[in-house]
Structure 1
Amino acid sequence: MMRRTWAKVVGGLLLGGWVWAGAAQALVPVKGEVDHREYRHLALENGLRVLLISDPQAQKASAALAVHIGHHQNPPKRPGLAHFLEHMLFLGTETYPEPGAYQRYINAHGGSHNAYTSAEYTNYYFDIDPAYLEPALDRFARFFTEPLFNAEYVERERHAVHAEFKARLNDDARRIQEVHRALMNPEHPASRFSVGNLETLANTEERPLREDVMAFYQGHYSADLMKLVVLGHAPLDKLQKQVTERFKAIPRRKVELPESYPPLFEKGQLPLRVEIEPTKEIRKLSLLFPVPVNDELYTHKPLHYISHLLGHEGEGSLLSLLKDLGWAEGLVAGRRQEGRHSGLFQVSVDLTELGVRASDQIVALVFHTIETLKQKGVERWRYEELQQMASIDFRFQEPRSPLATVRGLAHRMHLYQPRHVLKGDYLYAGYDADMIKRYLDYLNSENVLVSLVAPRVAPQESAEGYKTSAYYQTPYRVIEQPTEQPDIKARVQKRLSLPKPNDFIPTRLAVKEAPLLPSPGGRASERNELPVLASNQPRMKVWFQWDSTFNVPKTSMRLRLKLPAVAAGVQGAAHAELLSMLVRDQLNEFAYPAELAGLEFSLQPNTRGLDIEIFGYSGRQNLLLTKIVQALRHGRFEPARFADQKSKLLRRWRNEVLAEPYGVLARQIPRLHFSPYWLGADKLEALEGTDLKALHAFSDTLLKDAELEALLYGNLYRQEAVRLAAYLEHQLLGEQTRRKLPAANVYRLKSEGPWAHYYPVEHDDNVTLLYVQGLESDRRDEAHMQLLQRILRPSFFHQLRTEKQLGYIATVFPLALKDLPGTVMVVQSPSAGSGQLWREIDAFLEAAEDDLAERLADPKEALARELREPAKTLYQQSSYYWESLILGNSGFDRRAQLADRVEEVTPDSLKAYYQRVFNDPERRLWVVSEREPPPGKGADQAPASALEEGSEAELGEGVAAPEGEPPAPERAEERAREAPEPHWIEEIPAYQKALETLVYP
């Protein structure tokens, strides 16, 4: 059965009698109590629904357009076409024909841009300096009225999509999802490959890709399937005029789409069990249940109610039992993979090695818990507790960044009635026991796909039942899943209980009135404009500020413990990370209800100690802080929990080298230029021999010679901060033994390079990374570095990815070490060798110097304005203060100082800085990873292809360059021959000795 999109029902949701015909109509959505933004909801005559947001305080203007078309709408013989179309819309329109012009305009004016394609939606979004919103909207609107689909870039961009596919071949999430797709009903679009590659996007005379993508665009991109959100400084009337003029031209087409899809699984196919071999060391058991998707999921949230109880982590929960049995490390439950009127509800358990062997018993415990919910768990007070907390969160919801705001709202406009587009995620329309039980009935043993992911769980290639997925070549096998479950022993059942009422739900929500503080002259002043010292001791500084800006009953507590025991060496670093995990694990049952009630904490190691952060509603923060401090002071842990957390940490470190290759290489920069700093590979050996006795001994000495710096900011008074400071001094500053805290060292490059480091990564792609380091640790240096990053990023992406098709990942990003600025330029390629990538980056840097002066004005204006913008949330303000403190700026004016230095940058100073920093080959560090290094080349030596011309290894064995790829410029080849030979790093200490050392106490 087909329907046309101009019907009154859109995405299954009635729009409250909305009238599309005639002049644009408007209404105001319900908003939260502290939300200062103004909103207006419109329906244009072409059917496009628009949400306008006026926020004169916003740091950026922003816009997003979400179209209710995704990869589920791909033609069966063109997997990946919707994703490919997303790529193509960025590559030129009739009014702005130059590919890359949109990106350069956005980046030149302090903005960013991106898009994503999901099962049912494609979302395009950008942010920009507010003064340039209208011209940016003009460029953005043309995507949906006059895209060029330039034939040359059709061919090039299919290589970009293929490079994206290749870059994620080892991504276990994609590999697992593909196996699940293979088991679904082949008539359902969720069963199909979605990303696209050179094969699915083949471009032949018989079937030109350009014609197919144009036909898809014209057949699916209709105004009434689109929702637009625009946020700017201007008043709503002005925004409405800007938007209406540009977006009313989007055509409204008679798009025919299916009213619904076939079932996700064929009749009689379930229950089913699949066992999957991962790339990383992952152990996960998932139960996936097909469920219907309709309006009531969003308005009444029955599945959220169920996931809240199944995924609970407090005392008596399923997760607590599984942890006690030594079978699990984590558990989550919730909706996923939703289509039109169908989706999946998933319960996933992160397993221990013992848990893999107990997977059948875990499945039985999940079903036992579901049955308990049916019998005892559907209660009005539980629903009202969720309703109450959601109401509080909506009431005090602080604004998200403009980009996150528009991106999220453009999607939610497809889900909720206009009045509730802001409140929809917090909307609990009313308790309905029958509705909850109806959804619980779908979670049964005859309607389940059980998925077990673990190393060596799939049979060997020659064994019976062995299969591999079509695109990611993931090994798996399918076996029978019984409907009958093993009996659960009565003593085990008794250890499970439903959650008790949540005592952490805040009841005292008053924002404290302005305090009267004594001033030096004896008169009372109402407030401090910046944090002041509540306690200033030799080993402790506690900064405090009562918040007078954001009017929310929340407080941010940040503590940094400097600990010689952690900084002493790799063993201290390894022990600190394990201790942090054990403390979080030990506190989880207590802290989980607090998290549900909007009070969160983190405990993380840093290179020389520990960071503690608590943020949320103020009422019960002191209790949570006390529990964290007690756990640190008296760190004693159960042997089973120690073994599980140690195993989990070792596994995480082993998986670290299997992450995205360019990220693995980026982590080599602090490894080479900062101490103390240890990668997971360094800490593995130190931790493997550690037993519980050794960890307890480490815990006993952890706080000796400790130093503390803290920031308390928000809804609290000075006297409260003073009491907290006294408590922290007494509890966290252990005895003094005169053990010194090792200094933090940053190693600064000199003009004695270039240096090069070879680091092999287990991936088919090649990677070349260039690290460019600033000259000095001062604001002037940082100002020039940040401006150059903004100027270079869009042209680097356009030239090396869009034009030369070297790889999907071609980017520029900042990497500062303490206050020494730095920049990373990296390309990850499935086709080009590291030598070619090296030369292309070098050629780009030489050519980029020519027009730096002409490109300075807009980024300079945008960056200075951003740095002077006040924080928009209490948490953001706390982050600004904390960043200043940890970088030694107790005047809290770091951002203002940097803005001053940005405004002082001139075209001449920028060019001079570029020549000294970016265009000096001797001040460079190259890090490369080659797919197949030549024989005899070790991990600290150069691959032969790095500089040699015409090397066979240059593109990788058997790999051809993309069609139409231009050769490396002759100028670059000349420069490569003239450049000094790189010094290949063989030993890190010797390399660091050759550099200058900056010391931080």
Structure 2
Amino acid sequence: MSDPSVRLPGAWLRYVFALAVTAVAAASSLAADPVESVTSPVQSPNDDYAYRLVTLDNGLQALLVSDPDTRKAAASLDVMVGSGDNPRGREGLAHFLEHMLFLGTEKYPDAAEYERYITEHGGSRNAYTSFEHTNYFFDIDAGHLDEALDRFAQFFISPNFDAVYVDREKNAVEAEYQMGLKSDGRRGLDVLQEVMNPRHPFSQFSVGSLETLADRPGSSIRDDLLAFYRKHYSANAMRLVVMGAEPLDELEAMVTKRFVQVPNHNYTPEPIAAPLFDPRELPMLVTVQPQAVSRQLQVNFTLPEYRSEYTSKPMSYLGNLIGHEGEGSVLALLKKEGLADGLGAGGGLDWRGGSLFSVSVSLTDKGVEEYERILQVLFAYFDLLREEGPRQWLFEEQAQLAQLSFRFREQGAPIGYVSSLSSGMHDYAPRDVLAGPYLMQDYRPDLISAALAALRPEQAQIVLTAPDVPTDRRSEKYDVPYSVKTLTEEDIAGWLADERPDELHLPDPNAFIAEDVALLPLADENPELPEVRHEAERQRIWYRQSEEFRVPRGALYINFRSPAVGESAAQTAAAVLYTNLLSDRVNTFTYPATLAGLNFSIYKHAQGISMRISGYNDKQLTLLKRLLGVIAEPAFTQDRFDNVRADLVRSLENAVAKRPSSQVLDDLREALQYGEYGETVLINELQALDLKGLTAYADAFWRDAKAEALLYGNYPASAVGELSDLLAGQLPEGEAPGLPPLRVLKLAADESIRFVTDVPHADAVVAWYLQGAGDAVEDRAATSLTAQTMRSGFFQQLRTEQQLGYVVSAFSWPQHDVPGLVMLVQAPGHSSAHVADAMQTFMEKLPEEVDEPAFLRHRQALVNDIMEPDKNLLERAEYYWQSIARNQVSFDRRQRLAEAVEGMSREAWLDYYREHFLESRRSLLVVAPGEQGDTPDGPARELNAADAIKTDHAVYTIE
């Protein structure tokens, strides 16, 4: 679980809210005085939740969602206030306030109370701060919603802002700021904020630091927090979503009695009159040197605010066309010319008075040198769109796809659902809070034309990010080298093509849109669980119709297994490059399928190559036939081979820009799993691989390949035979050779390894992995229980109380069902030795912290989590598919683990914990020393390479 954090909008970080949705609700039978009005939102025909939207007397709107079958309840409250509302000179105040609300209230003063209650009852909690929003959310086992809401509501009624925690929590904000110093997302945003109009509030530093949150003469940070809270945290600016198993009337009573107490200050956000960019400084060219080796061209335009036009969505219309990847698209031409590997387009930021439309292009090396040619192609396409004018059939095609998505809406995780709904409630009319993200019912060519009129060179802000671009200054907060220049007419003359490239044209009608969305009748012989319906020398096909999830969708998964994967770094590099090339080769025809709700992916896995097709089942086999045809004769060109390989090498080189804690976890995984290799080794293998060698590798892979497949969903039994025929055309005849087993490092009792790894960052990182005593279900149960009991206290002690870092977590981390747990801390300003000592102290004290009642709560929470029902067809398909991959074809691994957990007493758990996690540990401590430079003491075998750990070591063998 991540900690509460700043959510930075804009194309740099690509945060896109998936506003999933739907509903009709019965009118309230409660005529309670605190309720001012009741609305029944429009919902999907496929949505069986009950909904009610109430507006309380204090102006707070609450959407109630009742699902009698839910195992998890959830709630989210979104406040229309964010980093854009920070007072001048108090950058990061909104974000800091978000942190502080978790740390005690008048009714529940213990700073650990909320976190502990949520965790002990099977839940999680988090929050984010964006430019306009602060969003708080949690989930919990359904039977404990009432008590959880009581604690949650106090955030917005009577928070303490305890002076002790005000002083401490500033360090957490500072740690988050320091952690982002090497993040190219935050670094790029820092440059954007420096070059934009300083009168626009988005130009402010949003995260905060010890400097911006320091006490000042006549202005303590606590006083400023209180003033900010009292002004902005007003009931009328809040939107609440609560989802539970209770009927709507009970949910309404539960919510009303608490949230009507939230004060209403009648806060109204002020419009933002200042333009995002000073018009006198446009067109603008910004060049940025990244921390990693990324190469990107960003083209930004300011447009009017279109949020109120959600039934016509002009920006979605344009983003769909400009970001298209099929025949006739900008990307298809740029790939053909060797200039780009990817392209995205759409809204990056909205504010009260405007919006930002961005086009982002992932560049090849040639694309960096010839970025003006990319601009030429892009502006030529904009001219084409203006000349062609808005097309109603294109709008209606997008509307049809959106309507299908809404009509066959499936359930997702409650916590994500309530968070997205509470944010969207600010933008949609009450009756549209569920349907709003999907509505495209009003064709407005005038709005489309007006938006297109702004996409001109003289109004563009261009950002070129690449390692060797010229720079002449450094940004203040993140020390990013960059330059900025206002361009002249002569400068942009080269962006205007003399002739439009013939390859550019509007997309053809989408041939993959589902036409037959009828639900097939369930066959009498439909098995209760997937069963093998076809088996041959090189094929095995599992089949089951979906009974619980009655939608016209299906999951068609194929695992092509071959001994030519995973036994060496060369094989791994070749397999990853091969699948990337195949994805690139088929992209022009699979992209329209993706738009039509027919998803496709192909990727390397531990024992082969997996291909997945999911979504509307109407045209899946048609798509598969085309895909297998390309695999049979891929016809890779040298140019695309070179560019795809270079892009893959760059992605590996960019690992240095990942969060340090993520890099350390990658190193830990490499040390534990045979067949996992580090970035440097893979880069060397990729650079040594040529097109001829790759072709030879692909031939060897398919010569020894066999296929295992799953058909689960709205499929007739005849689909098994059709799939078998298609696979037969791809696979050779004869018996396939055997596969080498998967292997996981097996640590011995009392074995202690210290793995010191090099992560170029000032922060120290410690990832302490403790392996279970074996791989039996009892070991998995005891290890999972240990992780569950550690979660809340570990965060509270090492993060909140000791302020060791921003990233602080303890969690279960099995590897191919070999149980283990990890304690992870990324610590600015503390040595890894100090962090390891704090971890050790915590583990020693854990037994006395987990008394019998607490243990029983944790045990039940873990059982509930294990047995959490699948929410939709794809979740169920994933469970089946992972069970098949593990050869656990009784499909009861959840039940067996839950029974093992439920059968473990506190005494049995304590015995296991003391013996295997305190006294005779199987320990692998991964340490990135950071600027402090030292490492933990103690008896351990110290190594500095994953290969050295795995050499001649005992292993778990997974057949």
| TM-score tier (shorter) | over 0.9
Alpha-carbon distance between aligned partners in 1 of 2:268 and 2:55, rounded to the nearest angstrom: 21
**Residue identity opposite 2:411 in structure 1:** P
User: What displacement does 1:490 show?
Assistant: 6.8
1:123 to 122, 125, 135: 135
1:623 maps to 2:622:
yes
Partner of residue 71, structure 1: 83
1:780 to 775, 778, 781: 778
Change (3 A) 1:858 1:85: same
User: What displacement does 1:744 show?
Assistant: 1.2
Partner of residue 984, structure 1: 942
Does structure 2 retain, via aligned residues, the 8 Å contact 1:130–1:232? yes
Partner of residue 952, structure 1: none
Alpha-carbon distance between aligned partners in 1 of 2:948 and 2:320, rounded to the nearest angstrom: 54
Q: What SS does the aligned partner of 1:486 have?
A: helix
Alpha-carbon distance between aligned partners in 2 of 1:822 and 1:22, rounded to the nearest angstrom: 50
Alpha-carbon distance between aligned partners in 2 of 1:421 and 1:662, rounded to the nearest angstrom: 38
2:254 to 239, 242, 257: 242
Partner of residue 178, structure 2: 166
Alpha-carbon distance between aligned partners in 2 of 1:259 and 1:482, rounded to the nearest angstrom: 32
Alpha-carbon distance between aligned partners in 1 of 2:587 and 2:707, rounded to the nearest angstrom: 25
Alpha-carbon distance between aligned partners in 2 of 1:155 and 1:93, rounded to the nearest angstrom: 16
Q: What SS does the aligned partner of 1:533 have?
A: strand
Partner of residue 767, structure 2: 769
Alpha-carbon distance between aligned partners in 1 of 2:35 and 2:736, rounded to the nearest angstrom: 77
Partner of residue 679, structure 2: 680
Identify which range, 151-160 or 662-671, moves more after superposition: 662-671
User: What displacement does 1:701 show?
Assistant: 1.6
User: What displacement does 1:480 show?
Assistant: 3.2
Identify which range, 609-618 or 734-743, moves more after superposition: 734-743
**Residue identity opposite 1:996 in structure 2:** A
**Residue identity opposite 2:764 in structure 1:** N
Partner of residue 493, structure 1: 501
**Residue identity opposite 2:505 in structure 1:** S
User: Residues 587-614 of structure 1: CA distance to partner in whole angstroms, max 9, x if unpaired?
Assistant: 0000000000000011010122111111
Change (3 A) 1:690 1:984: same
User: What displacement does 1:337 show?
Assistant: 2.0
User: What displacement does 1:259 show?
Assistant: 2.9
Q: What SS does the aligned partner of 2:459 have?
A: coil
Alpha-carbon distance between aligned partners in 2 of 1:749 and 1:670, rounded to the nearest angstrom: 14
Q: What SS does the aligned partner of 1:207 have?
A: coil
Alpha-carbon distance between aligned partners in 1 of 2:384 and 2:519, rounded to the nearest angstrom: 41
**Residue identity opposite 1:611 in structure 2:** S
Q: What SS does the aligned partner of 1:299 have?
A: coil
2:396 to 381, 384, 393: 384
User: Residues 369-394 of structure 1: CA distance to partner in whole angstroms, max 9, x if unpaired?
Assistant: 11110111411111111111111110
Alpha-carbon distance between aligned partners in 1 of 2:951 and 2:757, rounded to the nearest angstrom: 20
Equivalences for residues 439-478 of structure 1 within 5 A: 439-459=451-471, 466-478=472-484
User: What displacement does 1:919 show?
Assistant: 1.4
Equivalences for residues 306-325 of structure 1 within 5 A: 306-325=318-337
Identify which range, 233-242 or 626-635, moves more after superposition: 626-635
Does structure 2 retain, via aligned residues, the 8 Å contact 1:26–1:40? yes
Identify which range, 45-54 or 498-507, moves more after superposition: 498-507
Partner of residue 50, structure 1: 62
**Residue identity opposite 1:281 in structure 2:** V
Does structure 2 retain, via aligned residues, the 8 Å contact 1:563–1:703? yes
Partner of residue 836, structure 2: 838
Partner of residue 229, structure 1: 241
User: What displacement does 1:933 show?
Assistant: 7.0
Does structure 2 retain, via aligned residues, the 8 Å contact 1:632–1:699? no
**Residue identity opposite 2:448 in structure 1:** I
User: Residues 379-421 of structure 1: CA distance to partner in whole angstroms, max 9, x if unpaired?
Assistant: 1111111111111110001012100110000011001001111
Query: TM-score w.r.t. structure 1 length?
Result: 0.90
Equivalences for residues 414-813 of structure 1 within 5 A: 414-459=426-471, 466-483=472-489, 484-486=492-494, 493-517=501-525, 527-728=526-727, 730-734=728-732, 739-813=737-811
User: Residues 747-776 of structure 1: CA distance to partner in whole angstroms, max 9, x if unpaired?
Assistant: 211124221010010111111110011122
Q: What SS does the aligned partner of 2:918 have?
A: coil
Alpha-carbon distance between aligned partners in 2 of 1:821 and 1:28, rounded to the nearest angstrom: 47
User: Residues 15-64 of structure 1: CA distance to partner in whole angstroms, max 9, x if unpaired?
Assistant: xxxx9997432121111111110000100000000000001122310000
Q: What SS does the aligned partner of 1:559 have?
A: strand
User: Residues 159-208 of structure 1: CA distance to partner in whole angstroms, max 9, x if unpaired?
Assistant: 00000000111110111111111111111101110100000001245321
Does structure 2 retain, via aligned residues, the 8 Å contact 1:853–1:911? no
User: What displacement does 1:736 show?
Assistant: 5.5
Identify which range, 683-692 or 854-863, moves more after superposition: 854-863
Q: What SS does the aligned partner of 2:269 have?
A: strand
User: Residues 672-724 of structure 1: CA distance to partner in whole angstroms, max 9, x if unpaired?
Assistant: 12212223222111111111111111112211222322211000022211331
Partner of residue 14, structure 2: none
Identify which range, 649-658 or 138-147, moves more after superposition: 649-658
Partner of residue 946, structure 1: 936
**Residue identity opposite 1:485 in structure 2:** A
Superposed CA RMSD in Å reads 1.8
User: Residues 62-94 of structure 1: CA distance to partner in whole angstroms, max 9, x if unpaired?
Assistant: 000000000111001100000000000000001
User: What displacement does 1:111 show?
Assistant: 0.3
Q: What SS does the aligned partner of 1:214 have?
A: helix
Partner of residue 11, structure 1: none
What residue ranges of structure 2 are gaps of 5+ in the alignment?
1-30
**Residue identity opposite 1:219 in structure 2:** K
Change (3 A) 1:555 1:482: farther
Q: What SS does the aligned partner of 2:47 have?
A: coil
1:142 maps to 2:154:
yes
Alpha-carbon distance between aligned partners in 2 of 1:208 and 1:488, rounded to the nearest angstrom: 55
User: Residues 769-811 of structure 1: CA distance to partner in whole angstroms, max 9, x if unpaired?
Assistant: 1001112222222122222212111111111111001111111
Q: What SS does the aligned partner of 1:143 have?
A: helix
User: What displacement does 1:738 show?
Assistant: 6.9
Alpha-carbon distance between aligned partners in 1 of 2:645 and 2:651, rounded to the nearest angstrom: 10
Q: What SS does the aligned partner of 1:565 have?
A: coil
Does structure 1 retain, via aligned residues, the 8 Å contact 2:38–2:54? yes
Alpha-carbon distance between aligned partners in 1 of 2:294 and 2:755, rounded to the nearest angstrom: 30
User: What displacement does 1:487 show?
Assistant: 6.7
Alpha-carbon distance between aligned partners in 1 of 2:733 and 2:678, rounded to the nearest angstrom: 30
Q: What SS does the aligned partner of 1:926 have?
A: strand
Partner of residue 954, structure 2: 996
User: Residues 850-906 of structure 1: CA distance to partner in whole angstroms, max 9, x if unpaired?
Assistant: 233432111222222333343221111111111211122101111111111121011
Q: What SS does the aligned partner of 2:684 have?
A: helix
**Residue identity opposite 1:746 in structure 2:** V
1:395 to 366, 390, 407: 407
User: Residues 332-385 of structure 1: CA distance to partner in whole angstroms, max 9, x if unpaired?
Assistant: 110112111212100111111100111112112211111110111411111111
Identify which range, 825-834 or 911-920, moves more after superposition: 911-920
Does structure 1 retain, via aligned residues, the 8 Å contact 2:772–2:922? no
**Residue identity opposite 1:892 in structure 2:** F
**Residue identity opposite 1:669 in structure 2:** L
1:361 maps to 2:379:
no
**Residue identity opposite 1:46 in structure 2:** N
Alpha-carbon distance between aligned partners in 2 of 1:885 and 1:89, rounded to the nearest angstrom: 45
Equivalences for residues 863-874 of structure 1 within 5 A: 863-874=862-873
Does structure 2 retain, via aligned residues, the 8 Å contact 1:20–1:45? no
Q: What SS does the aligned partner of 2:280 have?
A: coil
Alpha-carbon distance between aligned partners in 2 of 1:752 and 1:292, rounded to the nearest angstrom: 65
Alpha-carbon distance between aligned partners in 2 of 1:133 and 1:22, rounded to the nearest angstrom: 21
Q: What SS does the aligned partner of 2:108 have?
A: coil
Q: What SS does the aligned partner of 2:565 have?
A: helix
Does structure 2 retain, via aligned residues, the 8 Å contact 1:853–1:910? no
Alpha-carbon distance between aligned partners in 1 of 2:33 and 2:470, rounded to the nearest angstrom: 58
